[in-house]
Amino acid sequence: MKRASPHKVLVYGTLLDGEPNHRLLARARFVGDAATMGGFALHDLGFFPGMARAEAGVVVGEVYEVDDATLAALDRLEGHPRFYRRTTVSLADGEQVWTYLLGPEQVEGRPIIRSGSWRARRKEERP
């Protein structure tokens, strides 16, 4: 019987703990809070954020270890490869993990979340 390979994935939006799509990570193991190395921006797309390459900036989120089935479910949610593209990125500590990126044309004109944190952005919205 083939054992599922673990994959580390950085989530930064609706998959975060307490957000609406976190249920997809029910079988995942929480590894910890993390931030990307510089070179990324988090854009506000309304009901969800999108990360894209940028000249400067970091994005913060949570890293989970997921099995093959969970990774496939995340790919479906994120529309990989037609909407988001699952790509490896470097975290601030140098570790390589999967995450979901948008292309520059997809975030053009969308506001940048300067803190790099969807959770902080969502707190700003609450009265």
Q: Give me the domains of the chain, ranges plus CATH numbers.
A: 7-122 (3.10.490.10)
Of 7 and 2, more confident: 7
Whether 78 sits among the annotated catalytic residues: the reply is yes
Question: Measured between alpha carbons, how far is 112 from 102 in angstroms, rounded to an integer?
Answer: 13
What percentage of the chain reaches a pLDDT higher than 70? 92
Backbone angles phi, psi at 117, to 5 degrees: -125, 115
Instruction: Assess whether pLDDT exceeds 50 at residue 1.
Output: no
Catalytic residue among 55, 78, 108, 125: 78
Give the global pTM. Answer: 0.92
Average pLDDT over every residue of 42-59: 96
Bridge partners of 83, per DSSP, are none
Instruction: Assess whether pLDDT exceeds 70 at residue 26.
Output: yes
Cβ–Cβ under 8 Å, residues 10 and 99? yes
What's the token pair of residue 11? 């989530």
Q: What is the DSSP letter of 14?
A: T
